[in-house]
Structure 1
Amino acid sequence: MKKTQATIVDIAHALNISPSTVSRALKDHPRISKKTREAVKALAKELDYQPNPLALSLLNRRTHTIGVILPEITHHFFSAAISGIQETALAAGYNVMFCQSNERQEQEEAAATTLLRNKVDGLLASITRETKSDEHFEAFRRRGVPVVFFDRAPETQGVSKVVVDDYDGAFQAVEHLIERGARRIAHLMGSESLPISHERLQGYRAALKKHGLPTDEELIGYTNIEREQTRAATEKLLALPQPPDGIFAFNDYIALFTLQLLRERKIRIPEDIALVGFSNDPLGTIVEPHLTTIAQPAFEMGQTATRILLEQIEAGGDVEVEPTTTILRTHMIVRGSSVPEAEALL
């Protein structure tokens, strides 16, 4: 026989008090006597009473759940952002539903539909490298559900975004290579559909220009953040009559794979080619030489995006919220892939 879940009415009946008194006692309302509060809580524990989130959501028209759509959960950057999101949401009394798009717009759209049907109170999203339309995100806004983008944000106007200064991070990386003596610096670019790819490309170009170095288009390789395209782009660079003496990669995933290819070719790192990544993946400290990288505050980004979303949720759908763009700073971590190990340790 199925066991019936205890309700506030059951507790009220057993103690001969009103359901409203039980509700206030469970919330430690100061107008309820200590004796009554203790009796209510003791019986609630004995009956294994659990609040009904569905009933509460019907009462206040909120589910106290936020949705999150991101390209991949296993990537270190996104897993760190998830930790920041979850910590901040739980502290505010919200649950989190995570959906992984696997870098596919079709899956991103399906996830958006699922979250809308589950009536999340707000959405955090980081788009895929395929995303060309934001109509599935507009569906949230039409229903008064706030949306905040983090890291990978579309060029959509009128929504809040939390990003890092990709331009400056790329500038730091390339300037570091120039200061180490590199003059033919290649860039292994990310997906051309992602705005952050273009921000990092512009940072690369700006650093070259500042130091009086020309931008050689044949030194820009297109990877689409995929393994085989990275291999093809790297081999094309190495086959040039004048191959690069420095490489700035869109992210650490591309940089680590490139490092592997260079070592297969017996190319010395950093003596023949210096290498810098972006994102500070822990794998960068396992390989030899250790990877120089641009560190992003992923955990802080998750926290910040969640706080902004919760503020918009609490403001209510009837209140016009001014969209904001929050830009977080990056910093360089110098390791052995761009300077000899002995210098990197100084």
Structure 2
Amino acid sequence: MKVTIKEIAQLAGVSVTTVSQILNQKGGRFSEATKQRVLRVIEEQQYSPNYFASNIIAKKSKTIGVIVPDFSEQFASAIVREIKYQVEQQGYYLIICESNYDFSKERELLEQLARIAVEGIFLFTPHDYSEENSIHKGRFQDIPVIFADRGLNEGYYGTVKIDEYTGVYQAIKWLIGKGHRKIGLIMDNSEHYHLGERYEAYHQALIDHGLLIEEKYIQKRPLTIAGGYQGATELLRHSEVSAIFCCDDMVAIGCYQAVYDSEKILDQEITVVGFDGGEVTQFVRPQIKSVRQPYRELGKAYAEKIQMAIEQPNRRMDDRLFHVSFET
């Protein structure tokens, strides 16, 4: 059974306050003999103080909550990895929860994180909170909330925005430069996200180069491996595309499998380009060409925002803009 601080005090013949102050290195007024006696009892009883409980009382839990739609989502997982690295250097730890894209589940998780007294919350969400009054002046029950949502919500602490248009336009321009005239697109079906900039860049690049926009070249699918497989299968069956742009790397992996099953040769008969540039693109062959997100810079920006919001919760912050890139 776990020994309590009260029992430590009784065994050492001192008060609970004395034990607490010695544990917190505030025991300067006690003799060396008293301090050594207390520390010896602590070691013998293998006592470990419940810092989490005491920090909740002090409202300094050194924890930050993170709500993600799906643990397997590449964008969220890559950003969280960078945030974790940044905040742990400042002594904070992350508590990560999954909402499964459900708005009511997000609300439930916000409540649960508030109950365990996290000092800040990252909310990765596909939902619009503009009409939702539970987050007021950037805070949920006095806890700062940083939106990580591709700019969907205007956050009190500033929005981290990503210019996706330029990178996608560069990718389509590169495909056209390689001689492709029939370029397919597998885009989101708006079930969870609406990635309008990616479609607009595809559309405008074709127009600028005098190419027709044909509906048979466009598939709307879930941004999953299965969605990519289904979309690419339809494109290869009912059109003569020689290249496919996928709005997500998971889609690109499914597209690769569909190309393989069609017995066409990747990078010779069909060229595939993805979007995100996460680790997954490094482990397939031929390696997926992808529009790359600046994950490290994004993670650092989010970490800076949450730390500043914790320290100065009433301070408004500026937006931050980052650019994706396409390099072959």
The equivalent residue for 1:166 is: 164
Of 185-194 and 2-11, deviating more is 2-11
Structure 1 spans left out of the alignment, 5+ residues = 335-346
Please state how far the C-alpha of 1:61 moved relative to its aligned partner: 2.9
Q: Is the CA contact (8 Å cut-off) linking 1:88 and 1:303 kept in structure 2?
A: yes
Please state how far the C-alpha of 1:68 moved relative to its aligned partner: 0.3
Please state how far the C-alpha of 1:240 moved relative to its aligned partner: 4.1
CA distance in 1, matches of 2:34, 2:302: 38
CA distance in 1, matches of 2:191, 2:311: 33
Structure 1 vs Structure 2 CA RMSD: 3.5
Q: Is the CA contact (8 Å cut-off) linking 1:161 and 1:305 kept in structure 2?
A: no
Q: Is the CA contact (8 Å cut-off) linking 2:188 and 2:247 kept in structure 1?
A: yes
The equivalent residue for 2:79 is: 81
Counterpart amino acid of 1:331? Answer: S
Q: Does 1:277 align with 2:271?
A: no
TM-score (norm 2): 0.81
Q: Is the CA contact (8 Å cut-off) linking 1:25 and 1:32 kept in structure 2?
A: no
Q: Is the CA contact (8 Å cut-off) linking 1:70 and 1:127 kept in structure 2?
A: yes
Of 2-11 and 287-296, deviating more is 2-11
CA distance in 1, matches of 2:162, 2:30: 52
The equivalent residue for 1:342 is: none
Counterpart amino acid of 2:171? Answer: A
The equivalent residue for 1:332 is: 326
The equivalent residue for 1:94 is: 92
Counterpart amino acid of 1:170? Answer: V
Q: For 1:308, what is the secondary structure of its paired residue?
A: helix
Structure 2 spans left out of the alignment, 5+ residues = none
Counterpart amino acid of 1:102? Answer: N
Please state how far the C-alpha of 1:263 moved relative to its aligned partner: 1.7
The correspondence for 2:66, drawn from 62, 65, 68, is 68
The correspondence for 2:211, drawn from 207, 210, 213, is 213
Q: Is the CA contact (8 Å cut-off) linking 2:59 and 2:117 kept in structure 1?
A: no
1:92-127 Cα offsets, whole Å, 9 max, x none, are 222321101233434333323322333322110212
Q: Does 1:313 align with 2:310?
A: yes
The equivalent residue for 2:113 is: 115
Instruction: Summarize the Cα distance change of 1:153–1:259 in structure 2 as closer, same or farther, 3 Å threshold.
Output: same
Please state how far the C-alpha of 1:288 moved relative to its aligned partner: 3.2
Instruction: Summarize the Cα distance change of 1:236–1:3 in structure 2 as closer, same or farther, 3 Å threshold.
Output: closer
1:18-77 Cα offsets, whole Å, 9 max, x none, are 94x76666555697799589747666545534253323332x334332110112223444
The equivalent residue for 1:5 is: 4
The equivalent residue for 1:53 is: 52
The residue correspondences of 1:1-346 to structure 2 (distance < 5 A) are: 2-6=1-5, 10=9, 14=12, 19=17, 26=23, 39=36, 44-46=42-44, 48-50=47-49, 52-58=51-57, 60-128=58-126, 131=127, 135=132, 138=135, 141=139, 143-150=141-148, 152-156=150-154, 158-192=156-190, 197-227=195-225, 229-240=227-238, 243-316=240-313, 319=314, 321-334=315-328
Of 61-70 and 38-47, deviating more is 38-47
Instruction: Summarize the Cα distance change of 1:37–1:261 in structure 2 as closer, same or farther, 3 Å threshold.
Output: farther
Q: Is the CA contact (8 Å cut-off) linking 2:129 and 2:153 kept in structure 1?
A: no
Please state how far the C-alpha of 1:133 moved relative to its aligned partner: 5.3
Counterpart amino acid of 1:146? Answer: P
1:270-316 Cα offsets, whole Å, 9 max, x none, are 22221100122444343332211122233443332122112101113
Q: For 1:146, what is the secondary structure of its paired residue?
A: strand
Instruction: Summarize the Cα distance change of 1:188–1:90 in structure 2 as closer, same or farther, 3 Å threshold.
Output: same
The equivalent residue for 1:337 is: none
Instruction: Summarize the Cα distance change of 1:10–1:168 in structure 2 as closer, same or farther, 3 Å threshold.
Output: farther
